[in-house]
Amino acid sequence: MGSTLAQKIIRAHLLEGEMRVGQEIGLRIDQTLTQDATGTMAYLEFEAIGIPRVRTELSVAYIDHNTLQSGFENADDHRYIQSVAKKHGLYFSRPGNGICHQVHLERFGVPGKTLIGSDSHTPTGGGLGMLAFGAGGMDVAVAMGGGTYYITMPKMLRVNLTGRLRPWVSAKDVILEVLRRLTVKGGVGRIVEYAGEGVESLSVPERATITNMGAELGASTSIFPSDEVTRAFLKAQGREGDWVPLSADPDAVYDEEITVDLSALEPSAACPHSPDNVKTVREIGPIRVDQVCIGSCTNSSLSDMLKVASILKGKTVDEHVSLSIAPGSKQVYNMLAACGALSDIISAGARVLECACGPCIGMGQSPNSAGVSLRTFNRNFEGRSGTKDAQVYLVSPETAAYSALRGVLSDPRELGEQPAFPLPEHFLLNDNMVIPPAPPAEVEQLEILRGPNIKPFPVSGPLAEDISCECTLKVGDNITTDHIMPAGAKILPYRSNIPYLSKFCFAVCDEGFAERSKQKGSGIVVGGENYGQGSSREHAALVPLYLGVKAVIVKSFARIHVANLINAGILPLTFADPADYEKISQGDSLRLAGIREAISHGSTAMLENLANGEKIPLNVEFSERQRRILLAGGLLNDTKGA
């Protein structure tokens, strides 16, 4: 029996465990990346571990999220990260060089290598044939120090692509179709592997769009084979030497398989407020549009931007539409300027933003009240845009640009014949915005620069024998990390200041949660299915830890978030019977008697609801490593005590 592509890479990097679905395995990590919204905390954690220099093949620190400098906070964090990178052996991508996933694809990604990043869209690297995972900052810090990265061995899901995309139908429409079929929970516990005759018709940037939004499926990661298309892309980037051919064996066996006929797809949109709420543009109809935003790590490549410029050339954006465009990297920006496409974009009336995440993470460009915003981004969670009642639709660059001209949601196939947009044989290469680390002989004299906004991160103590506290919050299904710890221009500057950040914890769900938690001193959060979906931000665990949350009890967890809770020392527990969710109300007094013993040796624990006398069995099925971490009170305690 042959192996899938993902299984081959896992086997080549396997350090611990057996490749049996559901079993914990440990992987050697070749590369890491961070971005500034999560990076400051990751580097504080790396410093706390006490290893003087990174031990990976390559680690890169990117500045792309917190680039709106309305105070000293973001600039101080950038300075801190740059000084850490210089001293501890990382490359530093300066503000303005571009979005981490776009730049990494262009300049650093290598087929067959493992990559983890403190950003949930790190699987973008799967477009190059990398095994790339989003992870919490602590996991990245440990990997930078040469430590093992642990995941539960996933199932293998093959997406068989047939046919070819028709004119004005794009890679964004491919992943929207997969999301429509599988939902935001359909990829949980799975690696999504793309194969079939349709693969060779997709460029590397198109493949990266698809693997990028695989994060919205809840998948562990997504991956394409490394073929001649991959080779041509790397050659054009001056990196042909990094290319290796990689594919699944012809007799590989998958746990699940679906087929997507590329030729049957049509322009689509994810409707408010979930990436899986997908309909075709024709089904939705010509709704009035107030804003269009083109960019993000999903759709900011050179080919995306050239298609947009072609649609806009010689025309003017509708008077009722605000159009903003953010190229994904300095390379893309420079090449748009060199070929004249940037002039076409500007002449049409677009507002050109810097090469950064910008509106996708809530950093500016919030829509008007109740405004309809078409975005080429990957998430449209309620309030993420910065306007709580905005109606955000996720679309392709082609749909976005054409709709911006017409003022209503429009099908780009109405444009008629589509020009060809081949990738260049040679990209413009200029890495002058990437600062290399200092040589080992010079690091002793280098100072780490810390601003006053950088505060120590919270650390839990060893797990208590018993836990007795109130249910301080009860929430429903599909709670995202944006619900737990929002992003946006008002909040992101305080990612390195947990005490201040705590004021905003769960504010989307319950504005009184933070103050109530401080008054109580401890608490338990209860939730529904797919709790913690979305971003990899470990702040969604660290801030609840600071507010005294001892356990989170839900029907099911998203992969990255449950790992972050364990790393923080918060118990992630699930109902043995999901119906027992109804037996707890916010404000009930709860008790986990003998919980330390249950975590040490058991598979179940008993929760007693003192308010109504109900006794509720909970699952405590963890690996031996996870049990050890929880007993120690978090990964940092466990790592330092090892």
Question: What confidence tens digit (pLDDT) does each residue in 112-134 have?
Answer: 999 999 999 999 999 999 999 99
pLDDT band, residue 491 (cuts 50/70/90): confident
**66 and 208 both lie in a single domain:** yes
Sign of CA dihedral 151, 152, 158, 161: negative
Residue 381 lies in a domain: yes
Residue 65 bears catalytic tag: yes
The predicted-structure confidence for 22-32, as pLDDT tens digits, reads as follows: 999 999 999 99
Name the catalytic one among 30, 36, 119, 344: 119
The position carrying tokens 């792309």 is 64
**54 and 148 both lie in a single domain:** yes
Burial class (CB in 10 A: 0-12, 13-18, 19+), 232: middle
Residue 560, pLDDT above cutoff 80: yes
**366 and 310 both lie in a single domain:** yes
**What angle do helix axes 559-568 and 137-144 make, rounded to 10 degrees?**
70
Residue 546, pLDDT above cutoff 70: yes
Name the catalytic one among 107, 379, 539, 559: 379
For residue 22, give Cα distances in angstroms to 19, 153, 273, 396, 445. Answer: 9, 5, 31, 35, 47
**519 and 388 both lie in a single domain:** no
Q: Taking a C-beta distance cutoff of 8 angstroms, is the pair 116, 100 a contact?
A: no
Q: Taking a C-beta distance cutoff of 8 angstroms, is the pair 47, 416 a contact?
A: no
Q: Any idea what DSSP says for residue 513?
A: H
Q: Which domain holds residue 480?
A: 467-641
**279 and 393 both lie in a single domain:** yes
How far apart are alpha carbons 296 and 208 in whole angstroms?
12
Name the catalytic one among 30, 36, 59, 65: 65
Residue 455 lies in a domain: no
Residue 119 bears catalytic tag: yes
- Lowest-pLDDT range, 158-162, 294-298, 378-382? 378-382
How far apart are alpha carbons 123 and 128 in whole angstroms?
10
Residue 160 lies in a domain: yes
Write down which residue in 211, 236, 264 finishes a domain. 264
**78 and 209 both lie in a single domain:** yes
Name the catalytic one among 13, 36, 59, 64: 64
**260 and 319 both lie in a single domain:** no
**87 and 71 both lie in a single domain:** yes
Mean pLDDT of the residues in the chain: 96
Mean pLDDT of 21-42: 96
Which among 572, 575, 587 is positioned nearest to 473, based on CA atoms? Answer: 587
Residue 386, pLDDT above cutoff 80: yes
Edge to edge, the sheet with strand 256-261 lists 221-223, 190-195, 155-162, 256-261
Write down which residue in 370, 399, 414 finishes a domain. 414
Residue 101 lies in a domain: yes
Sign of CA dihedral 576, 577, 579, 584: negative
The predicted-structure confidence for 250-289, as pLDDT tens digits, reads as follows: 999 999 999 999 999 999 999 999 999 999 999 999 999 9
Q: Which residues pair with 191 in a beta bridge?
A: 156, 221
Q: Taking a C-beta distance cutoff of 8 angstroms, is the pair 82, 92 a contact?
A: yes
Residue 387, pLDDT above cutoff 60: yes
Neighbours of 549 (CB within 10 A): 25
**229 and 313 both lie in a single domain:** no
pLDDT of residue 42: 95
How far apart are alpha carbons 584 and 520 in whole angstroms?
18
Mean pLDDT of 562-583: 97
Q: Any idea what DSSP says for residue 226?
A: B
Q: Taking a C-beta distance cutoff of 8 angstroms, is the pair 556, 621 a contact?
A: no
Check which CATH number belongs to the domain holding 595 and give it. 3.20.19.10
Name the catalytic one among 120, 170, 274, 535: 535
Q: Which residues pair with 531 in a beta bridge?
A: 557
Residue with the bigger pLDDT between 537 and 336: it is 336
Check which CATH number belongs to the domain holding 126 and give it. 3.30.499.10
**222 and 295 both lie in a single domain:** no
Residue 384 bears catalytic tag: no
Residue 273 bears catalytic tag: no
**581 and 605 both lie in a single domain:** yes
Domain count, the chain: 3
**199 and 322 both lie in a single domain:** no
Residue 326 lies in a domain: yes
**What angle do helix axes 137-144 and 36-49 make, rounded to 10 degrees?**
50
Q: Which amino acid is at 122?
A: T
Residue 563 lies in a domain: yes
Name the catalytic one among 537, 559, 561, 627: 537
Burial class (CB in 10 A: 0-12, 13-18, 19+), 330: buried
Write down which residue in 216, 239, 264 finishes a domain. 264
How far apart are alpha carbons 477 and 463 in whole angstroms?
28
22: left (phi over 0), alpha (psi -120 to 50) or beta: left
pLDDT band, residue 488 (cuts 50/70/90): confident
pLDDT of residue 68: 87
Mean pLDDT of 533-545: 92
The predicted-structure confidence for 429-439, as pLDDT tens digits, reads as follows: 999 999 999 99
Residue 421 lies in a domain: no
pTM of the model: 0.94
Q: Any idea what DSSP says for residue 322?
A: E
CA 590 to chain CA mean position, Å: 33
The predicted-structure confidence for 153-187, as pLDDT tens digits, reads as follows: 999 999 999 999 999 999 999 999 999 999 999 99
pLDDT band, residue 642 (cuts 50/70/90): low
The predicted-structure confidence for 199-246, as pLDDT tens digits, reads as follows: 999 999 999 999 999 999 999 999 999 999 999 999 999 999 999 999
Residue 452 lies in a domain: no
